Structure 1
Amino acid sequence: MSLTKEQTQHLYHKLLDMKKELSGEKKETESMTEEVGELSNGVDNHMADHGTLVTDRMTDQTVREIDRELLEEVNHALQKMKDGTYGVCEKTGQDIPYERLKAVPYARMTVEAQADMEDELETDAPSFEREFHEQVKDLSNKETVDQKSSQTYEILDREQDSK
C-alpha cells in the first residue's frame, strides 16, 4: 500500500523541519589553543581540566558528525520524494509502512531489511568496529543519552574497573 497524498505531505514537512533544525546555526566553538590558553593562564590548573576540555571537544565533534550524517539522510529522502521513489525499500523494493516513516522519515528500508543489513554488518565487521558502531548508536540515541545503562557507559565502567 503506497502512501496517501496527505501522508506524503506530512512526511515532507517533517523532513523539512528536520533539515532546518540540522542545518541551523551551530554554536561556534573556540579553537583548542584559545581554550587551553584560557586554562593555562590560571594558577594551579589541574590536568583533569585539560582532559575535560579534550573530552568535551571530542563529544562536540562526534555530535556534529552525527548531525551531518543525519542531514545527508534527510536530503536523500527529500531527493527520493522528488524522484518519486520515497517510501520504497532500497533493498527489497517493498513499500515502507507509514508508521515506520512517521517514526523515521528518512528510512531507506523496511524494518526487516534494516535488521538483515545490520546482522550482516555485525557478522562481517571486526569486533572493535562492532563495538564502536554500538557506542555511536548509544551517543546518537536520545533514549540512552545520559543513562548509565547504555553500552558506552558499561564499557567505560569496565575500563575504569580494570585500572
Structure 2
Amino acid sequence: MRTEKELTYFKNKLVSMKQELTKAIEANQPFSFEDYGELTSLDNHFADTASQLEDREVQFSIKESAKHILTEVEEALDRCKDGTYGKCVETGKDIPVERLKVLPYAKRIIEAQKRFDEAADSSNQTELSFSTPKDDKRGDERLQTVDELQCEHGNSSFTIK
C-alpha cells in the first residue's frame, strides 16, 4: 500500500509527464516540402527527397511512441483515481517504489512484465512464406512461385538442397 505522500509524488510526476508528452505530440507536426524551402517536390533531387522521407519517418516514430507512453500515463492516472496505482495488474502485488521512480506508469512487477513481453513476442512470430500451396489451382501453368523462380534463376541467398 502506497502512502499518501508517495501517491502525491507519483501523481505529480505523471501529470508533468502528460503535459510534456502532449506538448511533444503537438509540436511534432510533419514537415512539408515548403518547410524545406522547395515550392514543389518536382525540383527536389532524389537524395533530398530521401532525406525528407527519413525525417518524416523519424517524426512519425517519435509521435507514435509519445502517443503510446501518453496512453500508459493516462492509465496510471486512472489507477491513481481508483486506488489501484502501484499494484501489479497481473499479480496484485505492490510494484517496488524503485521501479515506479524509473517508470511511473509501470503497471506490472518486473517478473509479470517479462512474462507479458515473452507472450507478446511469441504471438507475433509467424513464419511467412511466399510459397504457393501445393493444392493451389490457379489454372495458369506460366505462373510461378518465388521458390520456383529462385530455383530456376538463382538468387544470392538461395541454395539448392
Q: Same fold (TM over 0.5)?
A: yes
- How far is the alpha carbon of 1:62 from its aligned partner? 1.0
Residues 1:11 and 1:3: Cα distance change in structure 2 (over 3 Å)? same
**Contact 1:18 / 1:74 at 8 angstroms: preserved in 2?**
yes
Return the alpha-carbon distance in structure 2 between the equivalents of residues 122 and 27 of structure 1. 29
Q: Where does structure 2 lack aligned partners over 5 or more consecutive residues?
A: 128-156
- How far is the alpha carbon of 1:7 from its aligned partner? 1.2
Aligned residues: 126
- Output the TM-score relative to the length of structure 2: 0.69
Aligned partner of 2:68 in structure 1 is 69
| SS at structure 2 position matched to 1:38 | coil
Q: Percent identity?
A: 38
Q: Where does structure 1 differ by over 3 angstroms across 4 or more consecutive aligned residues?
A: 27-31, 33-37, 39-43
- How far is the alpha carbon of 1:37 from its aligned partner? 7.8
Aligned partner of 2:57 in structure 1 is 58
| SS at structure 1 position matched to 2:7 | helix
Aligned partner of 2:147 in structure 1 is none
| SS at structure 1 position matched to 2:69 | helix
Aligned partner of 1:159 in structure 2 is none
Aligned partner of 1:80 in structure 2 is 79
Residues 1:7 and 2:6 aligned together:
yes
Aligned partner of 2:139 in structure 1 is none
Q: Where does structure 1 lack aligned partners over 5 or more consecutive residues?
A: 129-161
Which one has a larger percent helix, Structure 1 or Structure 2?
Answer: 1
Which residue identity is paired with 1:17?
S
Aligned partner of 1:134 in structure 2 is none
Aligned partner of 1:29 in structure 2 is 30
Which residue identity is paired with 1:47?
F
Larger radius of gyration: 2
- How far is the alpha carbon of 1:35 from its aligned partner? 5.1
Return the alpha-carbon distance in structure 2 between the equivalents of residues 89 and 36 of structure 1. 47
Deviations 1:52-93 (A, max 9, x none): 101110110111011011111111100110001111111111
Return the alpha-carbon distance in structure 2 between the equivalents of residues 85 and 40 of structure 1. 53
| SS at structure 1 position matched to 2:106 | coil
Aligned partner of 2:138 in structure 1 is none
Aligned partner of 1:46 in structure 2 is 45
